[in-house]
C-alpha cells in the first residue's frame, strides 16, 4: 500500500519515482489493486465514524481456586 500511495497518491518519500515504480513492477502490482485498497480504507473510515464501536470494560481477573491440602 505504501508503494501505491507514493506512486499514485502523492505520499512524500525520499525515494525517486523511478525506484518506487521499479519496485512496484517487480512485485507485480497494478493500479486497479491500489485503487481497490485505497477505496476500501476510505470506506472503512467512514463506516467507523457513522457506527460508533462500544468499548468493552476490562474484565476482572478470575481468582484461581487452589486445591485443599
Q: What confidence tens digit (pLDDT) does each residue in 29-47 have?
A: 999 998 988 888 778 878 8
> Measured in Å, how far apart are the chain's first and last C-alpha atoms?
59
Q: Is 45 left (phi over 0), alpha (psi -120 to 50) or beta?
A: alpha
- The model's pLDDT over 8-20, given as tens digits with 9 standing for 90+, comes to 988 999 999 899 9
Q: How far apart are CA 49 and CA 52, in angstroms?
A: 6
Q: How far apart are CA 34 and CA 6, in angstroms?
A: 11
Q: How far apart are CA 40 and CA 54, in angstroms?
A: 22
On whether the CB atoms of residues 43 and 56 are closer than 8 A, the answer is: no
Amino acid at each position: 500500500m505504501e508503494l501505491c500511495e507514493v506512486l499514485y497518491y502523492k505520499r512524500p518519500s525520499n525515494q525517486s519515482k523511478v525506484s518506487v515504480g521499479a519496485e512496484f513492477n517487480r512485485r507485480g502490482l497494478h493500479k486497479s489493486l491500489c485503487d481497490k485498497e485505497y477505496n476500501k480504507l476510505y470506506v472503512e473510515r467512514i463506516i467507523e465514524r457513522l457506527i460508533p464501536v462500544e468499548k468493552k470494560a476490562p474484565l476482572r481477573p478470575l481468582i484461581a481456586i487452589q486445591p485443599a491440602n
